[in-house]
Amino acid sequence: MLLLFFSAASSDIASDRAALLALRSAVGGRTLFWDTSFTTPCSWQGVQCENNRVTVLRLPASSLFGELPSHTLSNLTLLRILSLRLNHLSGPLPEDLSRLSHLRNLNLEGNRFSGPVPDFLFSLRSLVRLSLASNNFSGEIPSGFNKLTRLRTLYLENNQFSGVLPDIELPNLEHFNVSLNNINGSVPKGLQGKPKSSFLGTLLCGKPLDNACAATPAASAAGTGKNGKKKLSGGAIAGIVIGSVVGFFLLLLLLIILCRRKSGQKGRSVDAEEIKNREDEAGEKPIMEAENGSTDNGISVVTAAAAAMSANGNAASEDGGEVAAAKKLVFFGDVTRVFDLEDLLSASAEVLGKGSFGTSYKAVLEVGTVVTVKRLKDVMISEWEFKEKIEGVGAMDNENLVPLRAYYYSREEKLLVYDYMQMGSLSAFLHGNRGASRTPLNWEIRSRIALGAARGIEYLHCQGSTTAHGNIKSSNVLLTKSYDARISDFGLNQLVGPPSSPTRVTGYRAPEVTDPRKVSQKADVYSFGVLLLELLTGKAPVEEGLDLPRWVQSVVREEWTSEVFDLELLRDQNVEDEMVQLLQLGINCTAQYPDQRPSISQVAKRIEELRPSSLRDDQEQHDSVGDAE
């Protein structure tokens, strides 16, 4: 009996594997990197299993091309989550997807699927989230969505739907969007409680939109006079009078709005100058918390965004304003969306710092959530390419990386939303306040930071031989309350154009790197080596006239090793040998020639060995509990 059980399980996972291989043959892309020598697909990228069956398939931005063939995905009979967003898939959806009775989350956003919405979708009664946004679906939006009674999210925006919007009354529906479609008529009663942003760029009217629907002609109450001519009844005359009064007030309201818009545009140029001054004042300073909760840099993110649009001359036209506003925050993973773009843009904010890729703000939302918003500059790639690359960044999940939660892309603005790190950056801790209130960074804390940063970079390098950070520096190492390091700004060098300043991160840059956009893993190791030396010496590599690696080597050659360490480290007893060995590791990482440098995995392993066993035990215990930050 037991043998039959294992045979059946093997057969099921074997059929799942065969289905995925058939999909791989049809659409290619990054599925070609799957290691087909494995008898189980559970370790393939994007594939997750439970009880030896495939239950999750996530292949966002994976360069998949062509049509989805029949008898592939439908054979993954226990599939619960299917995400194929931001690919190049086209044609109609295969009808046998109706066999996926366990499917709860279906995300096909950002492809080229076409034709009407197939009826078989309405048989997937377990669906909780469905996104068909940004495709070429056409025809009328079917009322069959009402059969999906468990649905909480339905995104249909940016397609080619036409006709009248049906009344969709789903008891659990929380998120809904049909913007940027050629649909008309009034917003159905069951959807009037949704925000205006759900219907932008359409021909719809009525609540919650500002444009009221045209009144339907009332049945004539007129009688017939002696000459056969119609008379106006008293009610009709009263209606004409009331209509004239209402029309007058509407015209007056329109004039007020136009006047305010003009004054708002005048104010915007002032805002642009103010924002630019504040960002310039921030300079290349590291991200850090304002003392005593001060908000001297307080500005709203929406003011900054609007000011930038005005300053760049790229403000959306009045006709295109609603279309631009229809774009929304794109969140990663299955996280609950506790805020939307409108919440983010109206949040109070303060400038945290201005770095190589843009300006960072601390944004406090009305719901109490605090996030970091980075406004990117010099983005030189297309929207499609941007989305494809940023999806890869958002998919990275490691405790030593600052997670990217969401992004926003428009012609004028590119925003990235990260977790807010209250403790700020390593650079701020090393080179900021050195007064009596400062928390000393002893050997335990510094070695912990070094190990966490190394592990974060190691995770990045494990994504592929060509994957590198490209901008490692102490201001991009952020700290949790327990002094665990988290790497920020990873993956951004592939999004921006040539650096505006030739001295960008010069103190950390490997000698072989001439173009900051073209980096390597060995160049990352060099930058991390400089970071280690900075941790140990307390000296900033960007100080004018200081080549930190050469300075350290010269001190070591003169056998004045103890003189090299930060005074705070010299207070620690019995750890000088470990400090010297970590110093030597930093020197090895900053070797002149790339092939003489260790890999980041070797570096991380060596740092772990250098930490005392008691500290390693504390680290393991902490890791098992997890960081609540």
Same domain, 437 and 578: yes
- Number of structural domains, the chain? 3
Average pLDDT rounded to a whole number, residues 547-567:
78
Q: What is the pLDDT of residues 140-197, one digit of tens each?
A: 999 999 999 999 999 999 899 999 999 998 989 989 999 889 999 999 988 988 888 8
Task: Tell me whether residue 397 is in a domain.
Answer: no
Taking the C-alpha atoms of residue 408 and residue 540, their distance in angstroms, rounded to an integer, is 34
Average pLDDT rounded to a whole number, residues 592-603:
94
**Where is pLDDT greater, at 337 or 368?**
368
Whether pLDDT at 289 is above 80 = no
**Where is pLDDT greater, at 168 or 554?**
168
Amino acid present at 150: R
Q: In terms of Cα–Cα distance, which of 129, 123, 95 is closest to 109?
A: 129
Whether pLDDT at 225 is above 60 = no
Six-digit token pair at 152?
A: 């909480």
Same domain, 322 and 449: no
Task: Tell me whether residue 130 is in a domain.
Answer: yes
Count the neighbouring beta carbons within 10 Å of the beta carbon of residue 151: 24
Q: How confident is the model at residue 230 (pLDDT cuts 50, 70, 90)?
A: very low
Same domain, 371 and 435: no
Same domain, 373 and 453: no
Same domain, 356 and 474: no
Three-state DSSP class for residue 339: coil
Same domain, 413 and 438: no
Range 428-436, long-range pairs (CB < 8 A, 24+ positions)? 428/286, 428/287, 428/288, 428/475, 429/479, 430/474, 430/534, 430/535, 430/538, 430/540, 431/286, 431/538, 431/540, 432/286, 432/288
Whether pLDDT at 503 is above 50 = no
What stretches of 230-300 show up as alpha helix (H) in DSSP? Answer: 234-282
Same domain, 413 and 462: no
Task: Tell me whether residue 583 is in a domain.
Answer: yes
**Where is pLDDT greater, at 568 or 437?**
568
Handedness of CA 325, 326, 331, 332 (dihedral sign): negative
Cβ contact 89:82 at 8 Å: no
Task: Tell me whether residue 261 is in a domain.
Answer: no
**CATH number (domain holding residue 111):** 3.80.10.10
Q: Compute the mean pLDDT over every residue in the chain, rounded to the nearest whole number.
A: 77
Cβ contact 72:64 at 8 Å: no
- The CA-CA-CA angle for residues 281, 284, 286, to 5°, reads 105
Query: Quick one: pLDDT at residue 254?
Result: 63
Query: Quick one: pLDDT at residue 560?
Result: 61
Same domain, 337 and 441: no
Average pLDDT rounded to a whole number, residues 420-445:
81
What phi and psi values does residue 599 have, to the nearest 5 degrees? -80, 160
Query: Quick one: pLDDT at residue 73?
Result: 92
Task: Tell me whether residue 560 is in a domain.
Answer: yes
First to last CA, the chain: 48
Q: In terms of Cα–Cα distance, which of 454, 396, 398 is closest to 599?
A: 454
Whether pLDDT at 558 is above 70 = no
Same domain, 515 and 600: yes
Q: In terms of Cα–Cα distance, which of 578, 579, 558 is closest to 567?
A: 579
Q: In terms of Cα–Cα distance, which of 369, 350, 370 is closest to 361?
A: 350
Task: Tell me whether residue 241 is in a domain.
Answer: no
Range 239-246, long-range pairs (CB < 8 A, 24+ positions)? none
Taking the C-alpha atoms of residue 281 and residue 294, their distance in angstroms, rounded to an integer, is 16
Average pLDDT rounded to a whole number, residues 300-305:
52
Q: What is the pLDDT of residues 71-130, one digit of tens each?
A: 899 999 999 999 998 888 999 999 989 999 999 999 998 899 999 999 999 999 999 999
Task: Tell me whether residue 325 is in a domain.
Answer: yes
Whether pLDDT at 284 is above 60 = no
Taking the C-alpha atoms of residue 111 and residue 84, their distance in angstroms, rounded to an integer, is 8
Query: Quick one: pLDDT at residue 612?
Result: 62
Same domain, 373 and 459: no
Query: Quick one: pLDDT at residue 319?
Result: 38
Average pLDDT rounded to a whole number, residues 409-430:
88
Range of the domain at 454: 426-625
Amino acid present at 497: G
Same domain, 515 and 455: yes
Same domain, 17 and 165: yes
Taking the C-alpha atoms of residue 308 and residue 302, their distance in angstroms, rounded to an integer, is 10
Six-digit token pair at 376?
A: 């990117």
**Contacting residues for 436 by C-beta, under 8 A, at least 6 apart:** none
Task: Tell me whether residue 263 is in a domain.
Answer: no
Whether pLDDT at 1 is above 50 = no
